[in-house]
């Protein structure tokens, strides 16, 4: 109940502060097709999207973890579970599920920033040559998460100790604080090759530094590795921040962001930076009228593309370079639904599509082109 009150309050607070300029794309933030790499316009397939959704749910709260991996004792706290007498390593069902979603012989690393309340995971499969960074979404029991969601003042993209290389680019202060949290706990699945092991202690490092060091180690061993980032809700916002920072850090590697229930993260200059980055592709999946995907406003603009999904009778749609700055259209937060935000709804909607997974019962075709209306 508390989460619903907070989300509705946030939506109402932001929706009344919409200027006329927000009814259209800010100048320069929406690129033309001939200004981007064709790869940036490719829609992700249902299998890749469903896999990212499962990973996003697996690193979530205890109910979702229990439903998918029978890992209720882990309480969805990857770092805490790992240090609690090795419970995480002993939970075979939980690890097997992660390995199943990540790919054969998947390596896994788990990070927690206790002071900021941030949790993240990195998975790598030598078979699929894919390295995925996953961020946990908002937990209602976490005051840190709630305060981060509500702290929608803007600040620069990079950490405080770095020169501001992108003047004018501003992002949500609460999301940024969680993204640059300090690692307090770290664990892995207990079977990591020496070449992929972290050098020295990971604790006390900035989360981004720890994550990027792991990605670098993977790329050193497997240069052709595909880089992916995902998350739901708050985790979706963090995936956008991680996506652009990864793309800037590793300019020779493409970075694919597929997230779910993602709020707006930055201003128009941030959207321009993200959309113009030719080695970065962002697809935000929105479940029907998910309220969180419509906020905050007050000068915030979405990045990348939107894929809107729904139940059995809902036809999926894709919107190219979808800013969602509309106050008086069907993307208004006043028309949003809190109930559409939960990750189980996202998974149920995705499972209504035909995919190659085991026991597939879905019949609906997946979205194959962007909406032109």
Please say whether the beta carbons of 7 and 341 come within 8 A: yes
The residue among 134, 234, 216 whose CA lies nearest residue 177 is: 234
User: What is the three-class DSSP state of 89?
Assistant: helix
272: left (phi > 0), else alpha (psi -120 to 50), else beta? alpha
Q: Pick the residue with more confidence: 327 or 45?
A: 45
In this structure, the number of other CB atoms found within 10 A of the CB of residue 81 comes to 25
Question: So what's the pLDDT on residue 65?
Answer: 33
Decide: helix, strand or coil at residue 264. coil
pLDDT given at position 330: 65
**226 has a pLDDT exceeding 80:** yes
Q: Burial code of 319-343, b = ≥16 C-beta within 10 A, e = fewer? A: bbbbbbbbbeeebbbeebebebbbb
Could you tell me if 72 and 65 are in contact, meaning their C-beta atoms sit under 8 angstroms apart?
Answer: yes
| First vs last C-alpha separation in the chain | 37
* CB neighbours of residue 97 within 10 Å: 19
CATH architecture of 2-351: 3-Layer(aba) Sandwich (3.40)
Task: Place 333 in a pLDDT band, splitting at 50, 70 and 90.
Answer: confident
For residue 201, the model assigns a pLDDT of 87
**Residue 317 clears pLDDT 80, i.e. is over it:** yes
Q: Give the tens place of pLDDT for each residue, 257-302.
A: 999 999 999 999 999 999 999 999 999 999 999 999 999 988 899 9
Model confidence over 121-147: pLDDT tens digits? 999 988 888 999 999 987 655 445 555
For the chain, the domains span 2-351
Closest listed residue to residue 190, CA positions, set 87, 41, 271: 87
Q: Using DSSP, state whether 36 is helix, strand or coil.
A: coil
Asked whether the predicted pLDDT for residue 13 surpasses 90, the reply is no
**Could you tell me the pTM of the whole model?**
0.85
pLDDT level of residue 228 (50, 70, 90 thresholds): very high
- So what's the pLDDT on residue 263? 95
Q: Examine the pLDDT at 71 and tell me if it is beyond 50.
A: no
Report d(CA 114, CA 32) in Å as an integer: 42
């Amino acid at each position: 109940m508390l989460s619903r009150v907070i989300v509705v309050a946030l939506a109402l607070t932001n929706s009344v502060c919409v200027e006329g300029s927000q009814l259209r794309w800010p100048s320069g933030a929406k690129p033309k097709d001939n200004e981007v790499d064709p790869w940036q316009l490719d829609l992700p397939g249902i299998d890749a999207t469903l896999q990212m959704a499962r990973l996003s749910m697996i690193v979530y709260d205890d109910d979702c973890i229990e439903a998918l991996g029978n890992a209720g004792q882990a309480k969805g706290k990857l770092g805490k579970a790992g240090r609690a007498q090795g419970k995480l390593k002993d939970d075979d069902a939980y690890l097997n599920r992660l390995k199943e979603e990540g790919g054969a012989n998947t390596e896994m690393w788990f990070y927690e920033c206790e002071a900021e309340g941030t949790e993240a995971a990195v998975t790598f499969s030598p078979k699929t040559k894919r390295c995925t960074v996953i961020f946990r979404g908002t937990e209602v029991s976490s005051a840190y998460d709630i305060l981060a969601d509500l702290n929608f003042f803007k600040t620069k993209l990079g950490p405080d100790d770095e020169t501001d290389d992108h003047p004018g680019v501003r992002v949500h202060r609460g999301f940024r604080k969680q993204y640059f949290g300090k690692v307090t706990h770290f664990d892995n699945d207990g079977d990591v090759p020496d070449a992929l092991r972290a050098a020295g202690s990971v604790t006390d490092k900035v989360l981004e530094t720890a994550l990027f060091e792991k990605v670098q180690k993977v790329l050193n061993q497997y240069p052709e590795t595909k880089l992916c980032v995902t998350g739901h809700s708050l985790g979706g916002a963090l995936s956008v921040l991680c996506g652009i920072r990864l793309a800037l850090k590793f300019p020779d590697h493409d970075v694919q962001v597929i997230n779910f229930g993602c709020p707006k993260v930055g201003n128009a200059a941030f959207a321009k930076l993200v959309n113009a980055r030719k080695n970065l592709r962002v697809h935000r999946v929105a479940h029907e009228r998910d309220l969180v995907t419509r906020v905050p406003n007050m000068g915030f603009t979405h990045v990348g593309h939107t894929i809107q999904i729904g139940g059995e009778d809902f036809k999926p749609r894709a919107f190219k370079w979808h800013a969602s700055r509309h106050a008086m259209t069907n993307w208004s937060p006043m028309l949003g639904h809190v109930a559409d935000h939960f990750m189980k709804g996202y998974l149920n909607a995705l499972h209504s599509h035909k995919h190659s997974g085991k026991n597939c019962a879905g019949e609906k075709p997946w979205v194959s082109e962007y909406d032109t209306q």
